[in-house]
Amino acid sequence: MKNLLFAVFSIIGGILFSQVGIGLPTNYTPTESLEVNGTFQLHPDNELYFENIGAYTGTSGNSLLMVKNLTTNTLNKFDPEVMPFSAITFVPYHFDNVSPHGLHDYDTGISATNFYLTIGGFFVLTDSGGTSIFVDGSASQFPLYSARAFVQNGTWHLKFDLNNNRQFEHNVDIYLNVSVYYNAFLTKTNSTRMVDMSGSATGTTPAPDGAIN
């Protein structure tokens, strides 16, 4: 028992007054108070707490994102480079030679259970690459677009067409900037913010849940 206590206090003392390494190569000198090369296991019902929870304001060059494996109860480094997905994925879609009626329904094949999808921006060109886009052959009728992402049969679909059943003068090329969010990282969700502007062009609304001031 005395030997065990001596070993424990020796480690604690080493952490307080020098650098200690666990599982590191023999020729490696620790540069931090405690460096561990390996996995950290949490037993069932154990919790892991960190002090000063909140927004991280330091530099990210020397920091790691740690995640808990719910199957093995181990604490692991999260490496986006080896993951099959990321928290946010940007996907530019180019729909070439689309019907004058527009894009009514395009199935992306992206799971609506695991991901959330939004259209962040768009532009339209003629099928020959021109920028003069008219409706029904009339230069005085400029198109009013309707662009949205919606869920159908468990996957996300894209729609980009004209309002009021109008159509373009010719076939067009449609470019959509789509962002795909991994649901497991969406810790905050918000309901639709309904704002009565009362005919005004300016206004304010409470900040969304989870917003950092």
pLDDT in tens, 77-124: 777 677 666 778 889 999 999 988 889 999 999 999 989 999 988 888
With 60 as the cut, is the pLDDT of residue 13 above it? no
5 confidence band (pLDDT: 50, 70, 90)? very low
Most confident of 3-7, 69-73, 100-104, 201-205: 100-104
Position 68 scores a pLDDT of 72
End-to-end alpha carbon distance in the chain: 52
Q: Which of 8-22, 101-115, 139-153 has the highest mean pLDDT?
A: 101-115
Report the pLDDT value the prediction gives residue 9, as an integer from 0 to 100.
Answer: 44
More confident residue, 202 or 78: 202
Provide the pLDDT for residue 57: 65
Q: Burial level of 117, CB count in 10 A (0-12/13-18/19+)?
A: buried
Strand extents, DSSP E, the chain? 20-22, 34-36, 40-41, 66-69, 74-77, 88-98, 103-111, 115-126, 145-152, 155-162, 172-182
Per the DSSP assignment, residues forming a β-bridge with 149 are 158
Contact residues for 20 (Cβ-Cβ < 8 A; gap 6+): 11, 14, 30, 33, 34, 35
pLDDT given for residue 185 in this prediction: 75
How far is 109 from 33, CA to CA, in rounded Å? 48
C-alpha dihedral, 177 to 180 to 181 to 182, nearest 10°: -160
Q: Give the residue-averaged pLDDT of 183-211.
A: 78
Question: Mean of the pLDDT values across residues 31-60?
Answer: 65
The phi, psi pair for 5, rounded to 5°, reads: -60, -40
Q: How far apart are CA 19 and CA 30, in angstroms?
A: 6
CA dist., res. 119 & res. 179, Å (int): 6
**Tokens 């789509």, residue?**
178
